[in-house]
Amino acid sequence: MTARKVRVRFAPSPTGPLHIGGVRTALFNYLFAKKHGGDFILRIEDTDSTRFVEGAEEYVNDSLAWLGMAVDEGVKEGGEFGPYKQSERKDIYKKYADELIESGWAYYAFDTPAELDALRATAEAEKRNFAYDMHNRMQLKNSLSLSDDEVKQRMDAGEPWVIRFKMPENTDVQTNDMVRGSVTFNTNTLDDKVIFKSADQLPTYHLANIVDDHLMEISHVIRGEEWLPSVPLHIMLYKALKWEDTMPTFAHLPLILKPTGKGKLSKRDGDKGGFPVFPLNWQLEDGVAAGYKESGYFPEAVNNLLALLGWNPGTEQELFSIDELVESFSIERVNKSGARFDPDKAKWFNQQHLMRKDNEELSLLFNDELNERGVVADISFVEQIVAMVKERVNFVSELWEQSFFFFEAPSEYDPKVVKKRWKGDVPAFMGDLVTELEKVDNWVADDIKAVIAAQIEAKGLGFGLVMNAFRLALVGGGFGPDLMVIAEMLGKDETISRVKAAVENIG
């Protein structure tokens, strides 16, 4: 048998902004496809019109594009297995539902929502669960329990119906999940799921999903673990439709857990912990749900951090570009147990990817920020600064607070540093230093340092004390890179003017 071409799909329902759990599912599909020279397909599963959310499909497209996951076939990209949006495939599904009725694998059911609600309520009152299943289907209103005449009458009268899958009794359904290994389900615990509805002439998720995976020649289904309970129904559908031979192989990915490790990561956790759980900003009625992009993350950092939520390379390596991920990825190394999300680690990944970027690229990014602040600077100057401070930041947006003093004089002085460093003989010394600094001809770090050191020596002050006061004058606090380099880069006039300002303004 020739090996089957790897074709995987990411199949989101456009019911809201894609959560990072969904993004990780997309990423693992993408990595698996690229690793095996296969196709990465994007299918929009929008058969449930009641849950449709405007803008959600576009959000998926924008998110994948930002993260660099190129889609081989999809709504926008087209492809020979289209359409790739289920609402545009409406005419395809009915025939398969009919086929299942004819072969006895499915039946019509006429129970109204109100009747089913009443049965549910009674069951609840008796502390039982209600399920429409093999145990009670003959007591309910369907084409198995009613006579052919009555079924016909109801249908002719235009009564709404659904088609339910007739789950066989006491059958073991087994699968070899690529993540979980051999998993067996017994059908006795399963209900008769609705697979098609007359009201909108549309299939439900289960039928549409199986039909499309089959017609689109999907080889592997990689999705979140919340779909594991659907596997026995899906396998039974493949059997019933006689597609078992080409049934895809399943892989169910572990949950992404809250930072505490207890329960699934939610939007609320992000709100509480101040970290994004969405790839891009998403507009809400009363604000914005924060996205990784707008929070200053690099796409490669997001891919990297998501890849390591549930997968490990089997080595000590933690930093990966997307190409390196493709190279190293293997579905066998995906864990079964949930992966705890660590917001600090997420920042760390960004910092590491920031460090990996060359100074030229970073300086262009930082320059955009500078322009937004109305600061215009020579790009080679910006590049020098980036090189000096980049290891102190996690995000490009933090470069400003580490380097603003290169672009403007401090407007205030950190009171704690003032108290500790600007005392005793220091103010007078700094006043005298101005005269000495004015004498420096060649304004370079070493010469500036030599002059200050000579002064310190002459006046018998502590080197550290003076240097910290000098730093306070130049940057406004106790932070920043090499002080003499700062002075050199600021230039003679600006340095002297800042020392003068400090002497005048710190009281």
The residues binding ligand GLU (CB under 6 A) are 11-13, 45, 205, 209, 223, 227
| For the chain, the helix, strand and coil percentages under 3-state DSSP, each to the nearest 5 | 50, 15, 35
| Residue 267 designated active-site | yes
* Minimal distance, residue 214 CB to ligand GLU, in Å: 13
Q: Which residue has the tokens 């499909």?
A: 57
Nearest CB to ligand GLU, comparing residues 18 and 307: 18
Tell me if 326 sits within 8 A of 70, measured CB to CB. no
What's the 3-state SS for 75-136? CCCECCCCCCEHHHCHHHHHHHHHHHHHCCCEEEECCCHHHHHHHHHHHHHCCCCCCCECCC
Catalytic residue among 35, 197, 267, 420: 267
Directed axis angle between helix 463-475 and helix 426-438, to 10°? 70
Nearer to ligand GLU, 11 or 179 (CB): 11
Residue 337 CB, nearest approach to ligand GLU (Å):
21
Q: How far is the CB of 22 from ligand GLU (least distance, A)?
A: 7
User: Which residue matches tokens 């997968």?
Assistant: 311
At its nearest, how many Å lie between ligand GLU and the CB of residue 28? Answer: 11
Angle at the Cα of 37 from the Cα atoms of 339 and 251, rounded to 5 degrees: 35
Q: In a 3-state reduction of DSSP, which class is residue 67?
A: helix
Asked whether the beta carbons of 251 and 220 are under 8 A apart, the reply is yes
The smaller minimum CB distance to ligand GLU, of residues 222 and 370, is found at: 222
Q: Which amino acid is at 108?
A: Y
The continuous run of DSSP H or E covering 36 comes out as: none
Cα–Cα distance between 183 and 232 in angstroms, integer? 10
- We find the least distance from the C-beta atom of residue 64 to ligand GLU, in angstroms, to be 15
**CA–CA gap between residue 203 and residue 47 (Å, rounded):** 7
Give the residue with the Cβ less far from ligand GLU, 165 or 406. 165
Q: Which residue's entry shows tokens 């673990």?
A: 225
Distance of CA 494 to the CA centre of its chain: 45
The least CB distance from residue 365 to ligand GLU, in Å, is 34
Task: Supply the minimum distance, in Å, between the C-beta of residue 29 and ligand GLU.
Answer: 9
Q: How many residues does the chain have?
A: 507
Q: Tell me the CA distances in angstroms from 288 to 1, 129, 168, 397, one per residue in order.
A: 52, 39, 48, 19
Contact at 8 Å (CB) between 305 and 265?
no
Which C-beta is closer to ligand GLU: that of 159 or that of 217? 217
- Closer to ligand GLU at the Cβ: 54 or 368? 54
The residue (of 39 and 45) whose beta carbon lies closer to ligand GLU is: 45
* Alpha carbons 67 and 231: distance in angstroms, whole number: 30
Cα dihedral 42→299→371→399 (10° resolution): 160
How far CA 84 is from CA of 16, 27, 209, 210, 301, in Å, comes to 19, 19, 12, 14, 30
Residue closer to ligand GLU by CB (options 21, 276) is 21
CB of residue 222 vs ligand GLU: minimum separation in angstroms? 8
Provide the annotated active-site residues.
267
